């Protein structure tokens, strides 16, 4: 679990990549920033996990399969 | 009140998606549930929509691998996250064959990491025994939110096989409460009719009346009537706790349609509970009067009599005479398929 308070460098619409439901206008600036931080943090975490998964997959792979997997992943 | 519970369920699901404690999102409590659901979909799109090109390559290339090798690679090389991300891009028939060869704990890991909306066709193609086994594993892990996201995508026949695998009534109630598509609750009830008594007792024993009332409010009229009648057949202690919870939560908006759909005998039992006799709120009398034309005549008559008995001649008069139209009371039919 990661607290993202203070990490809200993007505005909330940027963080989710689109127009927010109108009702979210009611949130204070502080809460919008906190929520944007959480979304950014979750997206970063997921991207890191994906990269790790790919790295790990290549590391653990028997040499004979490594080429196949590299081609599969385009890396 | 139902709206408040919907918000609570939505916040739980969003917290799960963002991997933060639910408390950390407490400031969203005033946002309507429909807006929270739309926002959650936006977040899911952001989290699951990245890497599209790379994932398409994985899915396309995996088609070329023989099945046993693909199964091995999925576990040894790709891992659950990559499998979850690519699941929706596979051909459903191929995905079904792969799933049948993989260990259940691995598939459960995949399920917790995927966005079911992006893999509806694949989920529908997974063999029922695999769905049942993975469902059991998810319940063992307390992954109710994940279960709730998948249930809406299952066919009625798969649901029929999967529900008995959820052996705990408490787990079934938790899952139903966070169900992604609550329009499927009637379908869920159709395959869990033999569990209703247990579910009612569980709601009582685990202080889950609020959740149970929310679920009932999403059912069709016939099912509400059936559940209302079954609840009314329980012991006084249970009924008292139900009505007290309705009082405390101010949840009469959800409860009144249930009362009105009950048989007159069940309604009479509720009406005679001490908690009702002692403290029926004015808002309930007002709501009953307002809905008098929607009531079957025997129910209206019963309420009129109770109002007179409790010294509420004003309510009895407002309920009107026998001239008001009566409607046939809906009765539950056989299990509906969906």
Contacts of B24 in chain A (CB under 8 A): 3, 38
Q: Can you tell me the mean pLDDT for A43-72? A: 74
Inspect the interface and report whether the beta carbons of A61 and B27 lie closer than 8 Å.
no
| Separation in Å, CA of B39 to nearest CA in chain A | 7
User: CA-nearest residue of chain B to A13?
Assistant: B42
Consecutive sets of 10 residues in chain B, 338 residues long: mean pLDDT of each?
A: 79 92 94 94 86 76 80 85 88 93 96 90 94 95 92 90 91 90 89 91 91 86 88 89 83 79 83 78 80 81 85 86 44 39
Chain A neighbors of B47, CB-CB under 8 A: 42-43, 46
Contacts of B54 in chain A (CB under 8 A): 73-74
Query: Which of B64, B65, B92 lies closest to B76 in space, CA to CA?
Result: B65
* B47 closest CB neighbour out of A31, A46, A71: A46
Q: What residue of B is the nearest CA neighbor of A20?
A: B39
Q: What is the pLDDT of residue A69?
A: 67
Q: Given this model, what pLDDT does residue B311 score?
A: 85
Q: In this structure, are residues B132 and B100 in contact, taking their beta carbons and an 8 Å threshold?
A: no
Q: Give me the total of CB pairs closer than 8 Å, taking one residue from chain A and one from chain B.
A: 101
Closest to A60 (Cβ–Cβ): which among B28, B38, B76? B76
- Name the DSSP class of B19: T
The residue length of chain A stands at 75
Cβ neighbours, 10 Å, residue A65: 18
From B92, B51, B68, B80, select the one nearest A74 (Cα to Cα).
B51
First to last CA, chain A: 30
Using CA atoms, how far residue B103 sits from B100, B137, B143, B291, in Å, is 8, 11, 18, 55
Instruction: Determine contact: B51 vs chain A, CB below 8 A.
Output: yes
pLDDT for residue A35:
95
Residue with tokens 């025994």: B129
Helix residue ranges, H only, B63-166 = 67-73, 79-86, 92-101, 104-113, 120-125, 128-140, 144-151, 156-162
How distant is the Cα of A9 from the closest Cα of chain B, in angstroms? 16
Residue B97: burial class (beta carbons within 10 Å; 0-12, 13-18, 19+): middle
Nearest Cα residue to B129 out of B92, B168, B101, B150: B101
B 77-136 residues inside an 8 A Cβ radius of A: 77-79, 81-82, 85
Whether residue B43 lies within 8 A of chain A, CB to CB, comes out as yes
What's the pLDDT score for residue B322?
47
Q: Given CB atoms, is B65 within the 8 Å cutoff of chain A?
A: yes
Contact: A38, B20; criterion CB under 8 Å: yes
């Amino acid at each position: 679990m990661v607290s993202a308070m203070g990490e809200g460098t993007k505005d909330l619409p940027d963080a989710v990549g689109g127009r927010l439901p109108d009702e979210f206008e009611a949130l204070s600036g502080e809460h919008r920033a906190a929520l944007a931080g959480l979304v950014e943090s979750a997206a970063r975490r997921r991207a890191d996990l994906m990269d790790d998964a790919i790295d790990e997959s290549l590391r653990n792979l028997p040499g004979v399969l490594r080429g196949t997997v590299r081609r599969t992943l385009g890396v | 009140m139902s709206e408040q519970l919907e918000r609570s369920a939505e916040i739980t699901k969003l917290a799960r998606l963002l991997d933060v404690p639910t408390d950390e999102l407490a400031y969203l409590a005033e946002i309507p549930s429909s807006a929270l659901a739309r926002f959650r979909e936006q977040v899911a799109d952001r989290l699951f929509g990245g890497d599209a090109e790379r994932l398409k390559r994985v899915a396309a290339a995996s088609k070329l691998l023989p099945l046993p090798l693909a199964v091995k690679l999925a576990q040894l090389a790709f891992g659950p996250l990559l499998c979850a991300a690519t699941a929706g891009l596979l051909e459903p028939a191929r995905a079904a064959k792969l799933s049948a060869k993989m260990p259940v704990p691995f598939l459960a890991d995949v399920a917790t990491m995927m966005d079911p909306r992006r893999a509806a066709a694949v989920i529908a193609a997974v063999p029922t025994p695999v769905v049942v086994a993975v469902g059991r594993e998810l319940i063992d892990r307390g992954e109710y939110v994940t279960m709730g996201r998948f249930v809406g995508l299952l066919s009625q026949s798969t649901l029929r096989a999967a529900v008995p695998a959820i052996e705990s009534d408490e787990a079934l109630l938790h899952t139903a409460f966070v169900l992604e598509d609550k329009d499927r609750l009637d379908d869920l009830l159709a395959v869990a009719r033999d569990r209703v008594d247990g579910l009612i007792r569980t709601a009582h024993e685990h202080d889950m009346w609020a959740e149970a009332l929310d679920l009932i409010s999403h059912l069709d009229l016939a099912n509400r009537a059936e559940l209302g009648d079954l609840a009314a057949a329980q012991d006084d202690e249970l009924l008292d706790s139900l009505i007290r919870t309705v009082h405390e939560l101010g949840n009469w908006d959800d409860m009144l349609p249930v009362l009105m759909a009950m048989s007159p005998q069940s309604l009479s039992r509720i009406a005679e509970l001490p908690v009702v006799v002692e403290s029926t709120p004015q808002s309930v009398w007002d709501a009953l009067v307002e809905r008098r034309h929607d009531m079957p005549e025997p129910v209206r008559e019963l309420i009129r009599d109770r109002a007179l008995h409790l010294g509420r001649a004003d309510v009895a008069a407002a309920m009107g005479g026998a001239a008001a139209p009566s409607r046939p009371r809906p009765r539950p039919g056989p299990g509906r398929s969906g």
